[in-house]
A and B are shown apart, each in its own frame.
Chain A
């Protein structure tokens, strides 16, 4: 990244066709740059050797992106499919609005992790900050550590699994029973995320479905 302009880098990665032979790419000296490896649309593997700034791996489709460092705000924002793995910590709104794919954060994620998630699976080995899974619509958020204030505020159908403490639950978010299908789902998520935590150690949280828009009489 010290020698290659960001636009050239992203254009090269975005130009990789589905059947490309060159499937492994390495980005060195990222130096906290923004928007690294965004908008990828092929089954390639991209390794980033160092920490990045805003929006790394945004809008990802199919690609596997592994960051050997920490990431700034908005990692894997609006991801559609593929896998993004962060070895360090993630800043605010990791995986925001993600429609699909898997985001694995091996350190901690800060505030608003998984805000408005729409089908993405997010697995955090450490803690998440306040307002995580705010307005989460679908998908799964797994937190092996603790969650901050107002977890799952105004949540819809996403499932939240937290192993540690939850500082507080947001509006309309409640603890729910862990049925066998949830244990099976969580077992798979933990395996995909490379976590050695046991599913029985987690509690599940979701929507109480009591807010205004869950009442059919309020529908137009």
Chain B
């Protein structure tokens, strides 16, 4: 069992409250996943920068001179915000790949949580409330975000086993369920040159999507093909720069509830997670159908509930 939440804002007036609304939803899902928690939040885009969110178990030491070291290595100014075990590095746009290479050279023990233009991913072991407090998630603003509370079944309770998983630039995945063919698929993807770090099943699901998209598939197509290639139970919530998508396996025993108003589209593993959202009494509340890919995107605001693929 795990808990998933997601919030996609249509009304920009709610953007300053995204972090606090999503944090409340996340904490409500604590009894579905008390082991660890994580959140991916998409902020307002600054066309001059991209972002790397990084993590270290010894942050004071690892981040002490990181800003200066990375700026020197890249030959341009990098700005760093340090938050507990994480740090967000603002990289001049266009230097993201070089920055990741430089980072690995400067300190290979620093882990990349997310990379992209607007996404920041924070995840740690512990109760969702404590994780949210450590990163002051409530104060964050943004256009949309997804979160996860984990009750581990398939692998260790570690930071790297927590969700969301970064699947590509500005893309991430959270998962409720368990994949049963992840070992075979991990070997296959590793042979294809995809980097997989842990024994976690969801990381394989994320790597699978990354691999499909590297082969030219759109995210919608990658999610469609996941229905054939992934064996097991899953409700996936996928964050992108423009919005989020939902897909459930054909058996659909992992719960999912959606609510939509003029102001937002919200996702919760249970209705409980949604009850404090504004106007929930008047919202359209429904369950996403099994084996069906759904997308909500800011890129096409006239049709916010477009269905992919």
B269 to chain A, nearest CB (A): 10
For residue B272, which residues in chain A have a CB less than 8 angstroms away from its CB?
Answer: 31-33, 53
Interface hits, B217-263 → A, CB 8 Å:
251-253, 255, 257
* A110 sits at the interface (CB 8 A): yes
The A contact surface, by secondary structure, is: loop
Q: Name the one of B253, B275, B286 contacting A92, with C-beta atoms under 8 angstroms.
A: B253
Interface hits, A32-74 → B, CB 8 Å:
32-33, 51-54, 70, 72-73
Interface residues as binary, B26-55 with A (CB distance below 8 Å gives 1, 0 otherwise): 000000000000000000000000000000
Q: Which residue of B is nearest A107, CB measured?
A: B286
Are B271 and A73 interface neighbours, CB within 8 A?
Answer: no
Are B255 and A72 interface neighbours, CB within 8 A?
Answer: yes
Are B290 and A32 interface neighbours, CB within 8 A?
Answer: no
Expressed in whole angstroms, the Cα–Cα distance for A33 and B251 within the complex equals 25
B72 to chain A, nearest CB (A): 53
* A163 sits at the interface (CB 8 A): no
Expressed in whole angstroms, the Cα–Cα distance for A27 and B79 within the complex equals 53
Interface hits, A84-137 → B, CB 8 Å:
88-89, 91-92, 110-111, 129-130
Q: Name the one of B253, B270, B286 contacting A72, with C-beta atoms under 8 angstroms.
A: B270
Q: Which residue of A is nearest B286, CB measured?
A: A89
Are A111 and B271 interface neighbours, CB within 8 A?
Answer: no
How many A-B Cβ pairs are below 8 Å? 43
For residue B275, which residues in chain A have a CB less than 8 angstroms away from its CB?
Answer: 31-32, 51
* B285 sits at the interface (CB 8 A): yes
Q: Which residue of A is nearest B272, CB measured?
A: A32
A149 to chain B, nearest CB (A): 9
Interface hits, B263-306 → A, CB 8 Å:
270-275, 285-287, 290
Expressed in whole angstroms, the Cα–Cα distance for A15 and B134 within the complex equals 45
B199 to chain A, nearest CB (A): 30
For residue A88, which residues in chain B have a CB less than 8 angstroms away from its CB?
Answer: 285
Known: A51-B285, A89-B286, A130-B290. A72 touches B252 (CB 8 A): no
Are A111 and B285 interface neighbours, CB within 8 A?
Answer: no
Expressed in whole angstroms, the Cα–Cα distance for A52 and B285 within the complex equals 13
Q: Name the one of B255, B273, B285 contacting A70, with C-beta atoms under 8 angstroms.
A: B285
B249 to chain A, nearest CB (A): 12
Q: Which residue of B is nearest A73, CB measured?
A: B255
Are A91 and B287 interface neighbours, CB within 8 A?
Answer: yes
Q: Name the one of B252, B253, B271 contacting A32, with C-beta atoms under 8 angstroms.
A: B271
Interface hits, A191-205 → B, CB 8 Å:
none
For residue B290, which residues in chain A have a CB less than 8 angstroms away from its CB?
Answer: 111, 129-130
For residue A92, which residues in chain B have a CB less than 8 angstroms away from its CB?
Answer: 252-253, 255
For residue A89, which residues in chain B have a CB less than 8 angstroms away from its CB?
Answer: 285-287
Expressed in whole angstroms, the Cα–Cα distance for A31 and B231 within the complex equals 34
Expressed in whole angstroms, the Cα–Cα distance for A198 and B285 within the complex equals 29
Are B287 and A110 interface neighbours, CB within 8 A?
Answer: yes
Q: Which residue of A is nearest B275, CB measured?
A: A31
Q: Name the one of A32, A110, A111, A129 contacting B270, with C-beta atoms under 8 angstroms.
A: A32
B233 to chain A, nearest CB (A): 13
Most buried by A among B257, B285, B287, B290: B287
For residue B285, which residues in chain A have a CB less than 8 angstroms away from its CB?
Answer: 51, 70, 88-89
Expressed in whole angstroms, the Cα–Cα distance for A110 and B255 within the complex equals 11
Expressed in whole angstroms, the Cα–Cα distance for A54 and B269 within the complex equals 11
Expressed in whole angstroms, the Cα–Cα distance for A220 and B270 within the complex equals 45
Are B286 and A53 interface neighbours, CB within 8 A?
Answer: no
For residue B271, which residues in chain A have a CB less than 8 angstroms away from its CB?
Answer: 32, 51-53, 70, 72
For residue B270, which residues in chain A have a CB less than 8 angstroms away from its CB?
Answer: 32, 53-54, 72
Expressed in whole angstroms, the Cα–Cα distance for A129 and B257 within the complex equals 15
Q: Which residue of A is nearest B254, CB measured?
A: A92
Are B252 and A111 interface neighbours, CB within 8 A?
Answer: yes
B167 to chain A, nearest CB (A): 28
Q: Which residue of B is nearest A90, CB measured?
A: B287
14 contacts between A and B (CB under 8 A): A32-B270, A32-B275, A33-B272, A51-B275, A72-B271, A73-B255, A89-B285, A91-B287, A92-B252, A92-B255, A110-B287, A111-B251, A130-B252, A130-B290
Q: Which residues of B contact A (CB under 8 A)?
A: 251-253, 255, 257, 270-275, 285-287, 290
Known: A89-B285, A111-B253. 12 other contacts (CB 8 A): A31-B275, A51-B285, A53-B270, A53-B271, A54-B270, A88-B285, A89-B286, A92-B255, A110-B252, A111-B290, A129-B252, A130-B252
Q: Which residues of A contact B (CB under 8 A)?
A: 31-33, 51-54, 70, 72-73, 88-89, 91-92, 110-111, 129-130
The 9 closest A-B pairs by CB, nearest first: A32-B272, A32-B271, A31-B275, A32-B275, A110-B287, A51-B271, A53-B272, A53-B270, A111-B252
